[in-house]
């Protein structure tokens, strides 16, 4: 009878024991698959495509600009007229030189005739030697004046030709520094030309980064309008001094290839990267810092359980960490809720989480 009375109590104790031994609940987690990185991204910078060779031209004579024949962006060929001065002064100089040459030529003809006449008189014995010497000296002087007058005319014609500003090579007009109606001096900058045959990428780099550039760095240049148009590049030149306002140094990059879309002035974005030893990047939320060690939860794909794994870090910031060792490529790591898990606990992997 007593045994029957104790039965309910025993059953109650057994039920409580089984309830205490109930397994941990299955917990849904966010995760990602570990991927290897062998390239370190150092930054992305905006820039433009420019010509390696540029020249600024000016008139060789002073004057007032009468007309500009081409606009910015125009392609010009060797010998094309870019701008012209009012040629009135140069034409007057040509006319004056032509008049001076005609006068000297007349004097030269007279000097020749006088020298022949004095020579004939001297040969017949009726002319004085002094008169012959004077005639011959006058002939030489007039001859020198004639050569000088011819040179002056040539120079005046050259000055007239200089009133037209021409290009001696194929180029693209990139800038005008003077307008029609403006009076310019000889040699003053008027127009800037860029040679389109050799192009390069130009960017501004922070001084700290520019000082650390080495041959192992790789630049990937992409068009901002069409990021699919890319080309690799290498450093050709870095300005030695930083800009006083921006504290940046201008870098010029040699393009390995020049896509047709890379026209002069094209806006580009340049990604700077460097080859590094294999490593992986994880979100900062995947770390579990405890007892002086850094660990992550690794998901067993067969048992759907988690286990702690100690990892070695290269660097960390507020958003992510760089892992040197401890996890393998292809393993799945928990990225959220790491403080609420226990070793061996079953989890449900959210297939829509970051991969």
What are the structural domain ranges in the chain? 24-37+279-349, 42-52+197-277, 59-86+163-194, 88-161
Q: Which residues contact 20 (CB under 8 A, 6 or more apart)?
A: none
Give the CB-side neighbour count of residue 29, counting CA atoms within 13 A: 30
The pLDDT confidence band at residue 4, using thresholds 50, 70 and 90, is very low
Look over the chain and give the mean of its residue pLDDT values, rounded to a whole number: 84
Q: pLDDT per residue over 208-246, tens digit each? A: 777 766 655 778 899 999 999 999 888 888 888 888 888
Lowest mean pLDDT among 21-25, 28-32, 136-140, 292-296: 21-25
* Domain 59-86+163-194, architecture per CATH: Beta Barrel (2.40)
pLDDT of residue 352: 47
What's the CATH superfamily of 42-52+197-277? Efflux pump adaptor protein, beta barrel domain (2.40.30.170)
pLDDT of residue 23: 60
Average pLDDT, integer, range 8-37 = 64
pLDDT of residue 1: 44
pLDDT of residue 132: 86
Buried b (16+ CB within 10 A) or exposed e, 295-308: bbbbbeeeeebbee
Q: Is 91 helix (H, G, I), strand (E, B) or coil?
A: helix
Among 330, 322, 291, 283, smallest CA distance to 308 is for 291
CATH number at 24-37+279-349: 2.40.420.20
Question: Are 24-37+279-349 and 42-52+197-277 in the same CATH fold?
Answer: no
* For residue 7, pLDDT beyond 60: no
The per-type count for the chain, helices as H runs and strands as E runs, is 4, 23
Q: What angle, 0 to 180 degrees and rounded to 10, lies between the N-to-C axes of helices 129-161 and 88-124?
A: 160
Of 202-216, 246-260, 337-351, give the range with the top mean pLDDT: 246-260
pLDDT of residue 2: 46
pLDDT of residue 97: 95
């Amino acid at each position: 009878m007593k045994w029957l009375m104790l039965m309910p109590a025993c059953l109650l104790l057994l039920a409580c024991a089984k309830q205490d031994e109930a397994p941990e609940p299955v917990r849904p987690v966010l995760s990602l698959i570990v991927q290897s990185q062998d390239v370190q991204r150092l930054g992305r910078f905006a820039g433009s495509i420019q010509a390696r060779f540029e020249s600024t031209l000016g008139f060789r004579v002073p004057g007032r600009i009468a007309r500009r024949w081409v606009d910015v962006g125009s392609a010009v060929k060797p010998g094309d007229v870019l701008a012209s001065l009012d040629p009135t002064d140069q034409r007057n100089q040509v006319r004056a030189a032509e008049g001076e040459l005609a006068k000297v030529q007349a004097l030269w003809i007279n000097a020749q005739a006088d020298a022949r006449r004095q020579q004939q008189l001297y040969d017949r014995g009726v002319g004085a030697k002094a008169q012959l010497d004077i005639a011959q000296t006058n002939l030489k002087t007039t001859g020198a004046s004639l050569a000088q007058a011819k040179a002056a005319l040539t120079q005046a014609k050259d000055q007239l030709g200089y009133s037209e500003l021409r290009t001696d090579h194929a180029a693209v007009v990139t800038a005008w520094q003077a307008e029609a109606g403006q009076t310019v001096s000889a040699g003053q900058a008027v127009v800037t030309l860029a040679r389109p045959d050799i192009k390069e990428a130009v960017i501004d780099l922070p001084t700290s980064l520019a000082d650390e550039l080495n041959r192992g760095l790789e630049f990937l240049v992409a068009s901002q309008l069409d990021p699919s148009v890319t080309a690799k590049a290498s450093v050709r030149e870095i300005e030695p001094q930083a800009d006083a306002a921006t504290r940046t140094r201008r870098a010029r990059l040699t393009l390995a290839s020049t896509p047709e879309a890379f026209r002069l002035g094209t806006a580009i974005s340049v990604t700077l990267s460097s080859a590094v030893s294999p490593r992986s990047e994880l979100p900062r939320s995947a770390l579990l810092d405890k007892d002086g060690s850094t660990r992550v939860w690794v998901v067993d794909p067969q048992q759907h359980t988690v286990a702690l794994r100690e990892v070695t870090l290269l660097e960390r910031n507020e958003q992510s960490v760089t892992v040197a060792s401890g996890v393998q490529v292809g393993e799945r790591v928990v990225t959220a809720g790491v403080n609420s898990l226990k070793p061996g606990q079953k989890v449900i992997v959210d297939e829509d989480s970051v991969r």
